[in-house]
């Protein structure tokens, strides 16, 4: 699965709107939201194909960022089986705790974790 397919799926299935609060590559300046890093790491473990993405949440308000983390985590956990229009099925997991990186140059709080796509 390509990253853009994953972004489209998340946008359709969650309340996150692509290019408003869900981003691919880099988040625009002066913008809050969630974005996936472009470089994904495909691997196979015990015959299961997975792809890992670094995922980031950024917001001016720390409490809102934490709420957004909770929303996204809950959304991932409640969607045990995901399906694309072409019939491709997969599962998403968040494999690590969310880590606070630091405030960025625009004074936004930035948190990161790892999103894994399991085919």
Distance from C-alpha of 94 to C-alpha of 76, rounded to nearest angstrom: 7
Structural domains in the chain plus CATH codes: 3-118 (3.30.2000.10)
Q: pLDDT (tens digit, 9 = 90+) per residue, 57-102?
A: 999 999 999 999 999 999 999 988 898 888 889 999 998 899 999 8
Q: Report the range of poorest mean pLDDT among 26-35, 36-45, 62-71, 75-84.
A: 36-45
Q: Which of 40-44, 73-77, 107-111 has the lowest mean pLDDT?
A: 40-44
Residues 7-31 have a mean pLDDT of 87
Please tell me the predicted confidence (pLDDT) of residue 26. Answer: 78
What's residue 93's pLDDT? 92
Indicate the pLDDT class of residue 38, thresholds 50, 70 and 90: low
Compute the distance between CA of residue 77 and CA of residue 101 in angstroms, rounded to an integer. 23
């Amino acid at each position: 699965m390509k990253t853009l397919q994953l972004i489209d799926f998340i946008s359709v299935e969650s309340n996150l709107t692509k290019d408003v609060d869900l981003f691919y590559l880099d988040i625009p300046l002066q913008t809050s939201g969630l974005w996936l890093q472009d470089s994904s790491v495909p691997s196979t473990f015990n015959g299961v194909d997975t792809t890992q993405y670094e995922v980031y949440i950024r917001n001016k308000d720390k409490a809102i960022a934490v709420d957004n983390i909770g929303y996204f985590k809950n959304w991932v956990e409640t969607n045990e089986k995901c399906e694309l229009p072409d019939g491709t099925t997969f599962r998403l997991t968040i494999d690590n705790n969310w880590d606070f990186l630091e405030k960025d140059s625009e004074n936004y709080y930035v948190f990161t974790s790892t999103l894994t796509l399991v085919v």
